[in-house]
Amino acid sequence: MPRCRRRVHSRSRTRSRTRSRTRSRSDSRHSSQYEHKSIRRKKLDSYDIDYYKQSYSNERAQRSRMHERGTSAERRYKRSHRRSPSSGSSRHRERHRKHRQQPHQQRRSRSHSHSPRRQRQPSYSSQSSRAPSIEDDEDGHLIYRHGDVLQDRYKILATLGEGTFGKVVKIKDLQNDHVMALKIIKNVEKYREAAKLEINALGKIAEKDPDGKHLCVKMLDWFDYHGHMCIAFEMLGLSVFDFLKDNSYQPYTLEQVRHMAYQLCYSVKFLHDNKLTHTDLKPENILFVDSDYDVAYNNKKKRDVRRVKNTDVRLIDFGSATFDNEHHSTIVSTRHYRAPEVILELGWAQPCDVWSIGCIIFELYLGITLFQTHDNREHLAMMERILGVIPYRMARKSKTKYFYHGKLDWDEKSSAGRYVRENCKPLFRYQTLDDDDHRQLFDLISRMLEYEPTQRITLGEAMRHRFFDKIPAHKRLGADRERSHSLSSTLEIQGTCQTCTRSGED
């Protein structure tokens, strides 16, 4: 056979083999993607032991089925809403029959126009807004677009953020022309119940502190929007975490850390004094009142860094806040800020908030997370590397399987052991400068990170710690401000008397 003809045949065979290999490769790629997704889901399930650990997969399947079907009332509502808010079923059927009789081209041209529902303006006719459609996505989030008006009052302007609970949007109150933040909870039972608990906690806080003097975010309104609990708050700036992230994780200055830590202790102390534990303190839940900043050049980093102008903060997210007389879940707090008594399932109370604050202050000071892990045993190993050995009493009392004869069951020679050894060091070795201010800061952090909850510093004691002595009088809060004023007055009187004595004018 001539060489050229053989070459043609071989080329055609090569093409067919290439096509078959491509198909098999694509099939294997699809299967590997599904396997990768399932493996990733398993990893997430094994790592994530936060609030809603139990029966997650069953609840998710049930939630998706309920979401697809909805309750009978919701199905009736959606059917009627798709027709028109004012039309009956017979009128809808007549309209549908006439619509089908129209020529295709005419129907197509009309399909691009707004429905009567969208053309109808709300009661605030001066605003260019529209009524939203009531639909949820597969995860239970409310589907909305900018310009939608909820409750014929709140116009959605922008999306501010998203979390496991739902979304936060920027809204405008059309009644009083006021801009607020609206938290729209997923249409999922467990998040709906958590939102009701948050509303209850915020209501109790408002009763005790109507003027918001204790730096907890103010709830302005709440309502149930077709299964979505919605809570309106005062408009605030970025969280201290988001500012840190946007600033390439450049830490805050010591004076900024001092003021933010002082406010955090003051705010959470108010909760503790009213028999309430926040249980989810983290940098994401501390918001600046105003996150405007200046830009300064950092000689050490050889680049510009942001410096927030105003370090006034507010505490948010009371969805997991628990009163002393309420049921205490076994696991609380976000992983990196979780106290050892919670991990060891020994029970918890207000001291678990103090541990979280210690972790937060460290993160604000250095720009890094103190306990960067997603595994309980590794978390405990990090604690021992940074803070010393876990007390024998706590190890023996815990019913978890992390200890053997009172000692942490941990292989230091494993890859995880090397990771902990290389990335963690004793707490005071993280101190960047060896002066009195930095020593006092780390003394406060170390007292907040005491293993035994009963030996951990209280927030009342923390407010009197020497690290906060340099808080200016105009930045002090509540009784602390009155005490500082009386102290400064006493010092002024003493100084005047000493001057008079020296000058002979007693």
Looking at residue 480, what is its pLDDT?
78
Q: How many domains does the chain have?
A: 2
The owner of tokens 């876990």 is: 390
Residue 63 placed within a domain? no
**Residue of 154, 155, 157, 159 lying closest to 141 (CA atoms):** 159
The rounded mean pLDDT for the chain is 80
Task: Using the predicted structure, report yes or no on whether residue 94 has a pLDDT greater than 80.
Answer: no
Asked if 354 and 472 sit in the same domain, the reply is: yes
Asked if 258 and 212 sit in the same domain, the reply is: no
SS (H, E, C) 103-155: CHHHHHHHHCCCCHHHHCCCCCCCCCCECCCCCECCCCCECCCCCEEECCCEE
Range of the domain at 453: 236-481
Residue 47 placed within a domain? no
Interacting residues of 142 by C-beta distance below 8 A, sequence separation 6+: 135, 136, 166, 167, 184, 187, 225, 226, 228
Structure token digits, residue 184: 């729209």
Asked if 392 and 381 sit in the same domain, the reply is: yes
Interacting residues of 421 by C-beta distance below 8 A, sequence separation 6+: 385, 412
The owner of tokens 């293993």 is: 451
Asked if 263 and 387 sit in the same domain, the reply is: yes
Whichever domain contains 275, its CATH number is 1.10.510.10
Taking only the tens place, the pLDDT of each residue in 380-403 is 999 999 999 999 999 999 999 999
Asked if 393 and 313 sit in the same domain, the reply is: yes
Asked if 250 and 292 sit in the same domain, the reply is: yes
Active site residue 27: no
Residue 263 placed within a domain? yes
Interacting residues of 283 by C-beta distance below 8 A, sequence separation 6+: 239, 240, 241, 244, 360, 363, 364
Asked if 227 and 316 sit in the same domain, the reply is: no
Any binding-site annotation on 183? yes
Residue 67 placed within a domain? no
The owner of tokens 């691009």 is: 112
- Domain finish residue from 201, 233, 265: 233
Selected catalytic residue, list 27, 50, 242, 280: 280
Residue 73 placed within a domain? no
Asked if 156 and 175 sit in the same domain, the reply is: yes
d(CA 110, CA 97): 15
Asked if 280 and 163 sit in the same domain, the reply is: no
**Between 61 and 222, residue with greater pLDDT:** 222
Asked if 316 and 430 sit in the same domain, the reply is: yes
Taking only the tens place, the pLDDT of each residue in 461-506 is 999 999 999 999 999 998 777 665 555 555 455 555 555 555 454 4
Asked if 287 and 199 sit in the same domain, the reply is: no
Residue 118 placed within a domain? no
Residue 257 placed within a domain? yes
Asked if 186 and 243 sit in the same domain, the reply is: no
Whichever domain contains 211, its CATH number is 3.30.200.20
Taking only the tens place, the pLDDT of each residue in 212-257 is 999 999 999 999 999 999 999 999 999 999 999 999 999 999 999 9
